[in-house]
Amino acid sequence: MQISAMHWRQVEEYLRGDDRAVVPLGSTEQHAYLSLSTDNILAERVAAEAAEPLGVPVFPVLGYGITPNFRAYPGTVSLRVSTYLAVIRDLLDGLYGQGFRRIVFVNGHGGNTPAQALVDEWVGDHPGAQARWHGWWNAPRTWAKVQEIDPLASHASWMENFPWTRLDGVAMPAERKPAVDVGALRAFGPAAYREGLGDGNFAGLYQRDDAEMLALWEVGVAEAREAIEGPWR
């Protein structure tokens, strides 16, 4: 049940019987040969599929996140940490003001995690409200499934290569990319990041069999659904 397919009276009616909401979080950034919107596509889709059987509304994905190290790649847009935290706080305040009391952020971008502490802080300041931060791709069972399929997995590698993040007419390299020490690159800024990473994949194969990817997806959706369903306090 996506907010984009509802009108306001339907939301008002929903709030008479439930106070849960889901907000996907993504980022517009380089993903090697995959869409610049990969994190947005995955976060919004996993949130929608997870929430649908529960009848919980899913808000549009927040399509910009914190990704300063990729700024040398054209098409990448990064928000300042202070800006991002302010946006998350405004989203929480706005949802709370509408009557939502149980909010799940389904995050698809590792760089957004500074906001997790803000979410915890906000909950402490709003007795009666609850909020969860669910990183769908690195949640315990989903990450275990990634490791079961192929332990060499990373940003822009096979683990983000689903049929819905690929681009028409773009071929994937066949080789397995050796791991790059991204921690060392981080100290030198965006230009060094691009020079050291090249195409943008951190490590690993660029694509794996779709049967493996769909098996991974099922685990990710199921784990996100559990975060939305509860139990709640």
DSSP 51-67: HGGGT--BPPPB--B--
* Residue-wise DSSP of 103-137: EEEEE--GGGTHHHHHHHHHHHTSTT-EEEEEETT
From start to end of the chain, where are the E strands?
A: 20-25, 102-107, 130-135
User: Which residues does residue 22 pair with via DSSP β-bridges, in sequence order?
Assistant: 58, 104
Q: What is the DSSP letter of 139?
A: S
Between CA 28 and CA 54 the distance in angstroms is 29
Residues of 5-40 as b/e, b for ≥16 C-beta within 10 angstroms?
eeeeeebeebbeeebbbbbbbbbbbbbbbbbbbbbb
pLDDT (tens place) for every residue of the chain, 233 residues total: 899 999 999 999 999 999 999 999 999 999 999 999 999 999 999 999 999 999 999 999 999 999 999 999 999 999 999 999 999 999 999 999 999 999 999 999 999 999 999 999 999 999 999 999 999 999 999 999 999 999 999 999 999 999 999 999 999 999 999 998 888 898 899 999 999 999 999 999 999 999 999 999 999 999 999 999 999 98
What was the pLDDT predicted at 192? 93
Copy the structure tokens of residue 15.
């709030």
CATH 3.20.20.140 fits 3-228, yes or no: no
172 by DSSP, 3-state: which? coil
187-209 pLDDT per residue, tens: 899 999 999 999 999 999 999 99
Minimal CA–CA distance to 219: which of 145, 138, 148?
Answer: 145
3-state helix, strand, coil in the chain (%, to 5): 45, 10, 40
